[in-house]
Chains A and B, each alone.
Chain A
Amino acid sequence: MNILVFVSRVPDTATKIFVGSDGKSIDSKGVKYILNPYDEFALEEGLRLREKNGGTVSAVTVGASESSEILRTALAMGADNAVIIKGENFDSYQTAHNLAEYAKSNGFDLILTGKQSVDFDSLQVPSMVATMLDIPSVSVVSKLEINGGNVTAERDVEGGRELLETTLPCLISCQKGLNEPRYPKLPDIMKAKKKPINEIDAKAIEPSIVITGMELPSNQRVGKILGDSESDINEIVRSLHQDAKVI
């Protein structure tokens, strides 16, 4: 089974965000970057499928040269190949286009991705790539079974859980709960440093959106913080009822 896993480099989820001097993007000074947490589920699933069915797992990313760091993590976890498609400040459409072009020219049976990158949180690259490749996809999957060419996937939807059926080749975007990603062991981390990373130049196409500004959300809160006495509780309930009118 030839599996492609699309990964991305994102700020650590504990990062405090500040707006950069251009007013349109974050100030990256002091920001720690990591492998997108949801991509770990995608990599782990790919590795388990390879262990069961044979084949290869290739980790592919679109980004600046710093993105090689997360490919080292993917290699340390056990990916066979790592590919960086070099391009900077791409929007989701430009990223999806380059990933789809790579998949087209290299072939695949299955594509796995995280359900979203925890930077722009758009949940759009997976469905876009699948549409560009004219293959089915299932988003936000937390249980996956593949038997021969048949695929069943489960996902949470509002108020319930959906069971879906499709066939290979397809694309699956992975949600927490799908598996427990492995921690790379030190010898594997050392070995991963010596493995080759395949570099390709991205194709620059017209961006589909234009970002005009970035701001921090305003936080105007009432800020009425009381203690734990009977009268404090009564006063908060009164406020919720009469001032905020939410109960």
Chain B
Amino acid sequence: MSKILVYLESNNNTLKRVSFELITAAKSIGTDVTGVLIGAGEETAKSSQDYGLSELITISFGANNPYSSTQHAAALNNLVKSKGFDTIIFPANATGLELAPRVSVLVDGAYISDVVSIKNEGSELIVQKPVYAGKALISAKFNRPVKVLSLRPNVFTAVKSPAASLNVSSFDSGVSDSEAKVKVKSLLKNEGKLDVLEADIVVSGGRAVKGPENYHLIENLANVLGGAVGASRAVVDAGWRPHAEQVGQTGKTVSPTLYVACGISGAVQHLAGMSSSKVILAINKDKDAPIFKVADYGLVGDIFEILPKLTEKISSVKG
């Protein structure tokens, strides 16, 4: 019987959506699931009860303590060892991808990152993870008693299934501030800008946009859809858009509910970063462009003609 620990993450005193995805995924492989929340009050974690969490452990390092991966990892190590957790689940995002491998070494566990499916087969936990930028998937199992995994955001669906109660306890990690060997000094927020990694809908532009001055076509469609703005590598390399918006093998790998590729031909590297999207709409002049091979829906034509009409039509449908 595995004892599962789920790493919960909050932002402005609200749990991130990925935390609920992790709880649902954890409950699909076991019944003994505990959440851990570091550096935020238990009020923040109340909403986790709606997703079926009944045990929560909070760890605190004192007020206004900046985030430190080394300090968090040391505290989680002590928690795992003192309570005997054998399965630890992190989100495969900026925080989790840095923290999970640290924790896995400290607890002498085995770690598999960026997992997109998990299941029990007999007594074994089998996971799948994309490799070669999603061009292939591997199935793998853990060769150590303690298993550490990070789950790709937006892939596991968070399901509401309220727990009868949420039992909260605090854990004194015994980790001092001297363990904070690296600290976050400041966080510059992209105010009002949705990140392609966290958005439900992503609208990306490619070379056919022809210049940064035309990018409002992409932005207008993204605004109407309530989505984030993305870009192909060609667009970023040309300096039209920042690298943070790049989707593809040397940019970000996204799996939104809807991905709209505008004027993107679909180089292997770009497809690698978006082909796990649930629904794909492509707009391109060339009917033989590779992007149409992975698209659910397509419009063959000039984006300068199509995008304004499409934006208007979607706006009227969403009314």
B37 within 8 A of A: no
B297 within 8 A of A: yes
B275 within 8 A of A: yes
Expressed in whole angstroms, the minimum distance between the Cβ of B60 and any Cβ of chain A is 21
A22 within 8 A of B: no
What residues of A have a CB within 8 angstroms of the CB of B43 in the complex?
none
Contact in complex: A128, B94 (CB < 8 Å): no
Complex alpha-carbon distance, A232 and B297, angstroms? 11
Expressed in whole angstroms, the minimum distance between the Cβ of B285 and any Cβ of chain A is 9
B133-141, B158-166, B169-177, B204-212: which lies at the interface: B133-141
Closest to A126 in B: B101
**Which interface class (under 10, 10 to 19, 20 to 34, 35 or more) fits A?**
35 or more
Complex alpha-carbon distance, A83 and B262, angstroms? 45
Given A138-B182, A165-B182, A217-B137, A228-B102 contact (CB < 8 Å)? no
Complex alpha-carbon distance, A174 and B203, angstroms? 27
Contact in complex: A210, B141 (CB < 8 Å): yes
Contact in complex: B182, A136 (CB < 8 Å): yes
B278 within 8 A of A: yes
Contact in complex: B102, A167 (CB < 8 Å): no
8 Å CB contact of A165 from B105, B183, B249:
B183
Complex alpha-carbon distance, A162 and B187, angstroms? 5
8 Å CB contact of B189 from A159, A176, A208:
A159
Complex alpha-carbon distance, A170 and B183, angstroms? 13
Contact in complex: A234, B131 (CB < 8 Å): no
8 Å CB contact of A210 from B95, B140, B295:
B140
Contact in complex: B98, A213 (CB < 8 Å): no
Contact in complex: A233, B313 (CB < 8 Å): yes
Contact in complex: A158, B294 (CB < 8 Å): no
B143 within 8 A of A: yes
Mark each residue of chain B from 238 to 267: 1 if its CB lies under 8 Å from any CB of chain A, else 0.
Answer: 000001101001110100011000000001
8 Å CB contact of B70 from A11, A136, A230, A236:
A136
Complex alpha-carbon distance, A213 and B129, angstroms? 11
Contact in complex: A247, B102 (CB < 8 Å): no
Count of chain B residues with Cβ under 8 Å from any Cβ of A?
95
Closest to B91 in A: A158
Closest to A220 in B: B296
Contact in complex: A136, B181 (CB < 8 Å): yes
Complex alpha-carbon distance, A213 and B139, angstroms? 5
Contact in complex: A160, B136 (CB < 8 Å): no
What residues of A have a CB within 8 angstroms of the CB of B114 in the complex?
121-123
Given A122-B114, A123-B113, A216-B141 contact (CB < 8 Å)? no
8 Å CB contact of A157 from B94, B140, B279:
B94
B87 within 8 A of A: no
Complex alpha-carbon distance, A85 and B193, angstroms? 45
Mark each residue of chain A from 212 to 232: 1 if its CB lies under 8 Å from any CB of chain B, else 0.
Answer: 111111010111111110101
A89-137 contacts to B (CB < 8 Å)? 92-93, 96, 118-128, 130-132, 135-137
What residues of A have a CB within 8 angstroms of the CB of B318 in the complex?
247
Q: Is the interface of B mostly helix, strand, loop or mixed?
A: mixed
Contact in complex: A164, B183 (CB < 8 Å): yes
Complex alpha-carbon distance, A35 and B297, angstroms? 37
A177 within 8 A of B: yes
Given A142-B243, A209-B112, A239-B297, A157-B187 contact (CB < 8 Å)? yes
Expressed in whole angstroms, the minimum distance between the Cβ of A7 and any Cβ of chain B is 16
Complex alpha-carbon distance, A37 and B189, angstroms? 28
Complex alpha-carbon distance, A155 and B243, angstroms? 11
Q: Is the interface of A mostly helix, strand, loop or mixed?
A: mixed
What residues of A have a CB within 8 angstroms of the CB of B69 in the complex?
127, 136-137
Contact in complex: B140, A233 (CB < 8 Å): no
Contact in complex: A209, B73 (CB < 8 Å): no
Contact in complex: A124, B297 (CB < 8 Å): no
B132-156 contacts to A (CB < 8 Å)? 132-144
8 Å CB contact of A208 from B130, B144, B250:
B144
Contact in complex: B134, A13 (CB < 8 Å): no
Contact in complex: B225, A247 (CB < 8 Å): yes
A237 within 8 A of B: yes
What residues of A have a CB within 8 angstroms of the CB of B138 in the complex?
24, 211, 213-214
Contact in complex: B137, A158 (CB < 8 Å): no
A194 within 8 A of B: no
Beyond A159-B198, A240-B297: 14 further Cβ-contacts under 8 Å? Answer: A93-B111, A118-B249, A119-B132, A131-B105, A156-B243, A158-B197, A159-B11, A165-B185, A170-B181, A208-B144, A224-B298, A233-B299, A237-B317, A247-B317
B interface residues, Cβ below 8 angstroms from A: 11, 69-70, 73, 93-95, 97-102, 104-106, 109-114, 126, 129-144, 181-190, 193-195, 197-198, 201, 225, 243-244, 246, 249-251, 253, 257-258, 267-269, 272, 275-276, 278-281, 287, 292-302, 305-306, 309-310, 313-314, 317-318
A interface residues, Cβ below 8 angstroms from B: 11, 13-17, 19, 24, 26, 37-38, 92-93, 96, 118-128, 130-132, 135-140, 142, 152, 155-167, 170, 176-177, 206-217, 219, 221-228, 230, 232-234, 236-241, 244, 246-247
